[in-house]
């Protein structure tokens, strides 16, 4: 069994750290509570910048909209991990390494095939990552190249895991990956095959899907990335950090929202009923999934790009009904509350139009966000400080256990 071989080293850089407070506030009345860490800045990151004032998001300095227009998901993964866009020679080598890893070990296939067919697909993904972590021969290393290798391995295999899980639930044979295809096209081929009408054969569908992966790839200290950083800060291994992040992403307040968006749209059924449905939900103090954001308060920077891709897809697939539903819901929500859609609102129906089963939308989010999570794991390891906040105690005063509890 792999064990730490050396004592944990002190942080080598340590240059940017805020000074530690000399003492901790002791009584609850002295402590200010930052519920949900609302507005708290806990560290630096050079990976992405979310700017709610300008409604912008950059990855390593590049606006995400430009990346979605001009780059492939593979180039964006390289950018997140390496800090710069690849040259064509670097990209070719990077893709070759990824494609070489496109296979699933028999033990992993058996494990997935043995999982209940009605478990949530996020449980499959979480279990698969745990299994891959059992093969890590050097889990306690602080060596960045090793972490990058683990990241690339998960990045390459997760689309295969998701495709296998989709097809086994449909009672269909697994389709072998094609090492000549880009990641988006290969994934759609493994899910839908390459028969006439398959989105894998339609370059517009492939490009729209690729864009969604780019938009989902990274978003600073969101809940799942923060989870990955907390786990990494204890000097635990990359796979444990990713497993925890998957658990955080599954929740409907975070990544799980993209599924709930389409469940809601299907429940409403008719776009003409959207307005009444939204008012009803708000009258009953219900959260409407796909709206609002902890950081953006005036619209999510990623929405215009994804919305345009969704509108294109809907037009080409004769699915205007969902555009009408999208518009009626978002207009009513905005008029009544001033709250705008987040990325999940256009991404969910875009995946639905492509024919992807709804419960697989969040696992697709994992296929994309694995790049951002692992970039943060590397960053956290390279300038680590254990993440351990304080709490203000508000339970009973100290008391003694009575001798007679009769």
Q: Would you name the residues annotated as active-site residues?
A: 293, 344
**CB of 106: closest distance to ligand COA in angstroms?**
37
Q: Is residue 133 a contact residue for ligand COA (CB under 6 A)?
A: no
Q: Is residue 290 a contact residue for ligand COA (CB under 6 A)?
A: yes
Q: Is residue 294 a contact residue for ligand COA (CB under 6 A)?
A: yes
Pick 302 or 376: Cβ nearer ligand COA: 302
d(CA 25, CA 141): 35
- Residues, the chain: 406
d(CA 270, CA 255): 25
Q: Is residue 266 a contact residue for ligand COA (CB under 6 A)?
A: no
Pick 128 or 333: Cβ nearer ligand COA: 333
Residue 354 structure tokens:
């492509």
* DSSP character at residue 283: H
* DSSP character at residue 258: H
Q: Is residue 122 a contact residue for ligand COA (CB under 6 A)?
A: no
Question: Residue 219: is it exposed, middle or buried by C-beta count within 10 angstroms (0-12/13-18/19+)?
Answer: buried
Q: Which of residues 338-367 bind ligand COA (CB under 6 A)?
A: 339, 342, 344
Q: What is the dihedral of CA 237, 93, 98, 243, to 10 degrees?
A: 20
Closest of 357, 359, 358, 330 to residue 346, by C-alpha: 330
Tell me which of 239, 291, 365, 373 binds ligand COA, using CB under 6 A. 291
Q: Is residue 37 a contact residue for ligand COA (CB under 6 A)?
A: no
Question: Residue 96: is it exposed, middle or buried by C-beta count within 10 angstroms (0-12/13-18/19+)?
Answer: exposed
**CB of 220: closest distance to ligand COA in angstroms?**
12
Q: Please, which contacts does 390-395 make with residues 24 or more away whose CB atoms are closer than 8 Å?
A: 390/24, 390/25, 390/31, 392/28, 392/31, 392/33, 393/28, 394/28
For 375-391, give the secondary structure using H, E and C: HHHHHHHHCCCCCCCCC
Pick 50 or 354: Cβ nearer ligand COA: 50
Q: Is residue 33 a contact residue for ligand COA (CB under 6 A)?
A: no
Residues near ligand COA (CB under 6 A), total: 14
Residues 51-90, mask of contacts with ligand COA (x by CB under 6 A): ----------------------------------------
Q: Is residue 307 a contact residue for ligand COA (CB under 6 A)?
A: no
Tell me which of 126, 250, 293, 302 binds ligand COA, using CB under 6 A. 293
Pick 64 or 288: Cβ nearer ligand COA: 288
Q: Is residue 253 a contact residue for ligand COA (CB under 6 A)?
A: yes
Q: Is residue 221 a contact residue for ligand COA (CB under 6 A)?
A: no
Pick 78 or 351: Cβ nearer ligand COA: 351
**CB of 29: closest distance to ligand COA in angstroms?**
25
Element (H, E) at 326: helix 320-337
Interface contacts to ligand COA, rule CB under 6 A: 253-254, 257, 287-294, 339, 342, 344
């Amino acid at each position: 069994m792999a064990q730490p071989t050396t004592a944990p080293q002190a942080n080598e850089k340590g240059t940017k750290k805020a000074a530690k407070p000399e003492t901790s506030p002791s009584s609850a009345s002295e402590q200010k509570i930052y519920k949900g860490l609302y507005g708290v800045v806990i560290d630096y990151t050079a990976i992405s910048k979310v700017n709610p004032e300008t409604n912008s998001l950059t990855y390593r300095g590049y606006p995400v909209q430009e990346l979605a227009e001009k780059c492939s998901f593979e180039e964006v993964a390289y950018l997140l991990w390496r800090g710069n866009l690849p040259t064509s020679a670097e990209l070719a080598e990077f893709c070759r390494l990824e494609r070489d890893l496109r296979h699933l070990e028999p033990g992993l296939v058996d494990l997935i095939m043995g999982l209940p067919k009605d478990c949530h697909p996020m449980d499959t993904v979480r279990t698969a990552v745990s299994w891959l972590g059992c093969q890590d021969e050097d889990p306690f290393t602080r060596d960045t190249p090793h972490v990058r290798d683990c990241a690339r391995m998960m990045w390459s295999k997760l689309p295969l895991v998701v495709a296998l899980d989709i097809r086994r639930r449909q009672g269909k044979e697994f389709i072998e990956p094609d090492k000549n295809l880009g990641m988006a096209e290969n994934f759609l081929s493994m899910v839908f095959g390459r028969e006439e009408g398959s989105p894998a054969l339609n370059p517009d569908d492939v490009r729209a899907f690729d864009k969604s992966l780019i938009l989902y790839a990274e978003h600073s200290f969101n809940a799942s990335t923060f989870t990955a950083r907390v786990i990494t800060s204890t000097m635990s291994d990359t796979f444990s950090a990713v497993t925890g992040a998957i658990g955080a992403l599954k929740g409907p307040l975070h990544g799980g929202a993209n599924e709930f968006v389409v469940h809601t749209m299907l429940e409403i059924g008719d776009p003409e009923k959207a307005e009444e449905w939204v008012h009803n939900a708000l009258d009953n103090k219900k959260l409407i999934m796909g709206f609002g954001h902890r950081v953006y308060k005036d619209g999510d920077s990623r929405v215009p790009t994804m919305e345009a891709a969704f509108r294109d897809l809907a037009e080409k697939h004769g699915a205007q009904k969902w555009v009408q539903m999208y518009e009626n819901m978002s207009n009513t929500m905005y008029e009544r509350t001033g709250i705008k859609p987040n990325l999940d609102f256009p991404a969910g129906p875009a995946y639905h139009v492509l024919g992807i089963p709804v419960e697989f939308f969040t696992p697709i989010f994992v296929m994309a966000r694995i790049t951002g999570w692992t970039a943060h794991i590397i960053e956290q390891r390279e300038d680590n400080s254990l993440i351990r906040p304080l709490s203000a105690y508000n339970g009973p005063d100290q008391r003694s256990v009575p001798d007679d509890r009769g």
